[in-house]
Structure 1
Amino acid sequence: MTCEDRREALSLLVDGALEARDPAGLFAHLEGCPGCRGFLDALLSVRSALKRDLDAAQREADALAPARLPRPDRRRDRLSALWTWAPRRPALALAAALGCAAVLLAAGIAIGTGLADRGPAAGPAPGADAPDESGAGVVYVCALPEYEVLSSPDPRPVQGPGGEDSTLRKGRRP
């Protein structure tokens, strides 16, 4: 076995991966070979430096972890805090719900009465001329189940649907 093979075995020994090789023969070679002994010392110093740096990096990561990791949790906690007050204060939640319902009811009543006060939209009957200030030319039609009334404030006679003058007729509409 050459020194190159033994250095490979020393590297495996330091890494903890030396399997079936004979460590006793390897240690016997180290006693007689200053080059392999220097190689082992260099491996051990590199390994301890790496372990020291890794431990320092792990301590820094552990120190920074609370500042980095809970950030999404803090945002979720802030958002969930907006919605979790209701189960903790049921009386307050009920009062808020009743207040919202009262506001909606009042708004509905106000809108409904505002529309009722305006009344139906008034305008000329379909097909009639636009009225002037005297109201001439406007045809008012009233249809009851028994009567059909066609009247006009205009002194001119208005032709009804059957061609007759404006009159009050008893009977059913055709």
Structure 2
Amino acid sequence: MHPYPQASLWILVIAAVTLFWVALTDLREFRIPNELVLALVGLYLLYALVSGQWVTMRWNIGFALLMMAGMIYAYWQQQMGGGDLKLLAAAFLWTGPWNALLFAILLLVFVGVHYAAVRLGWAAAQRSGTRLRIPLAPAVAGALIGTFALGFAMPAFQGA
């Protein structure tokens, strides 16, 4: 199958808009809708097919499953919500093992900024006993969109 760089770019734009919507929903309601996570997974599959990256799809799927298995422990320890787990698994599906480090660094930066905003009273948070719960989707969305901008779009246009 031949890559279609323009279609790939549009899929990334649609994925970014979907991520933005997920972030807004999590900020307002402290929940991540399953249908939006499924849309991100479907957009990844479509992106992999039209960008020519379908050959590495099995690595991305395996990596996402491996990361999800590790995150299940954090979920059991009540350190993350179920929606956060599903959204991060979808994000790791997009990054695969090759862009995961860039994504993780951006995620750390965005979580730090969000946490600082909560501590300064600029962003909402929920108290759960002695723990402070912040919505993770805005940080995941920012990190994945940043990964798209810094790493994804370039390979699609190298041959164009």
Question: Higher helix proportion, which one?
Answer: 2
**TM-score interval for Structure 1 and Structure 2 normalised by the shorter chain:** under 0.3
TM-score of the two chains, using structure 2 as the length reference: 0.21
Q: Which of the pair has the greater relative contact order for Cα pairs under 8 Å at 6+ separation?
A: 2
Structure with larger Rg: 1
